[in-house]
Amino acid sequence: MGKINAIITGVGGYVPDYVLTNEELSRMVDTNDEWIMTRVGIKERRILAEEGLGTSYMARKAARQLIQKTGVDPDTIDALIVTTSTADYKFPSTASIVLGKLGLKNAMAFDFWAACCGFLYTLDVASSMIQSGRYKKIIVIGADKMSSVTDYKDRQTCPLFGDGAAAVLLEATEEENIGLMDSYLRTDGKGLPFLHMKAGGSVCPPSHFTVDHRLHYTFQEGRTVFRYAVTNMSDDCALIAERNGLNKDNIAFVVPHQANMRIIEAVAKRLELPMEQVMVNIERYGNTSAATIPLALWEYEDRLKKGDNLILTAFGAGFVHGAAYLKWAY
């Protein structure tokens, strides 16, 4: 038996119907379209506004579309992994809820938490599971309901985030030189003070005080996060490119985490790539955290062809960061 590789064989996605525009945001906080577009490049974002619906709802929608598109038999799925920072509940896992709703009978399910880097990290873990030979088909879902942890009275952070989900099917193949070829993933533990949610965990459990003082929302020290993100995403992409003989002539697309248009442009510049070779949808969706990279793959899927070289890169709370080299399989 030859070496087993893990390949993506399909992508499904879901974004909520409700569109929150900059114009609408400007009626909620002191901001305007020009200010938001100049600083982050976001025009609008999707919001899951229906009461009682959480991250699992969007994850399920994306996974169901994926299953329909690929025609995969649900009973052949070995594992389902949801990567999210906005789980439905503290427990059980969001993945277990999605699995139950999809009716998967022969799979294990678990959540993976690596903030905005979640999809990148999970892709690596799921690929390793497949390469072990013990798993043949794994659904990986990046999903976040960022509106649930966004303070719509904070003009610095509320324009940034949106809701969405996207799912990929990872399968085993013995075909050579295809699939996830290489990855470089790192964690810099200095990130806590600059990007976190102050309350809701075991250090500071929920209380009247934490609710009254609005401590259950995303806190970000924007300037520091921006600086780290530009440096790490650019360096990580350059390292992956150099390690694998990739350059502007043979890279089909860079797929960056969609946090800030200026970060995306800096990464492209470092790789000497024109923006036409960079997957971008931040203007319409904002930062959907773990969902940004798979949502980009979902939107650009019809522009990809077998053998295309892709570099994926992300940065998130922790600080977690990295890049991966993916050779498209279909």
Q: Which residues are catalytic?
A: 116, 257, 287
φ, ψ of residue 309 to 5 degrees: the values are: -90, 125
The residue ranges of DSSP E strands in 188-308, in sequence order, are: 195-197, 218-220, 253-256
Do you find a cis peptide bond into 112, omega within 30 degrees of 0?
Answer: no
Integer Cα distance of 289 and 162 in angstroms: 8
First to last CA, the chain: 23
φ, ψ of residue 29 to 5 degrees: the values are: -135, 170
Q: Which residue has the tokens 């020290």?
A: 221
3-class SS of residue 258: coil
- Other residues' Cβ atoms within 10 Å of the Cβ of residue 124: 19
Q: Which two tokens stand for residue 267?
A: 């990464």
Integer Cα distance of 323 and 236 in angstroms: 5
Helix or strand run (H / E) with residue 14: strand 5-14
- Other residues' Cβ atoms within 10 Å of the Cβ of residue 239: 14
Q: Which residue has the tokens 């992956």?
A: 240
φ, ψ of residue 325 to 5 degrees: the values are: -105, 115
CB of 141 closer than 8 Å to CB of 63: yes
